[in-house]
Amino acid sequence: MKKGKLGYLIIASAIIWGAVLIGCAAILKGTQYKGDINLIIIGGIIFHFLFIWAPLGNQLLKKG
């Protein structure tokens, strides 16, 4: 795997989790909706694994 592609995946991971945390903060602002927060976090985890770490794992398996 090229070093540049790994860097883009790491940056994409940071952007995804930044968006997840901002979404959580927006919902929590003055409220207590635990179920809504769980949906956002679970969605972020699924998106993160499918679109960031699954391709990264494939690249590392091909390399090794």
Query: What average pLDDT does range 11-21 have in this prediction?
Result: 87
Instruction: Convert the pLDDT of each residue in 4-14 to its tens digit.
Output: 677 787 788 88
The pLDDT of residue 55 is: 80
Instruction: Convert the pLDDT of each residue in 22-53 to its tens digit.
Output: 888 888 888 888 778 888 888 888 888 888 88
Distances from the Cα of 41 to the Cαs of 3, 5, 8, 30, 60, in angstroms?
Answer: 29, 25, 22, 19, 26
Q: Is residue 18 in some structural domain?
A: no
- Output the six-digit token pair for 6: 């790994």
Structural domain count, the chain: 1
User: What is the domain range of residue 40?
Assistant: 32-64
Q: Is residue 4 in some structural domain?
A: no
Q: Is residue 23 in some structural domain?
A: no
Q: pTM of the entire structure?
A: 0.60
The pLDDT of residue 2 is: 58
Which SS3 state, helix, strand or coil, does residue 6 take? helix
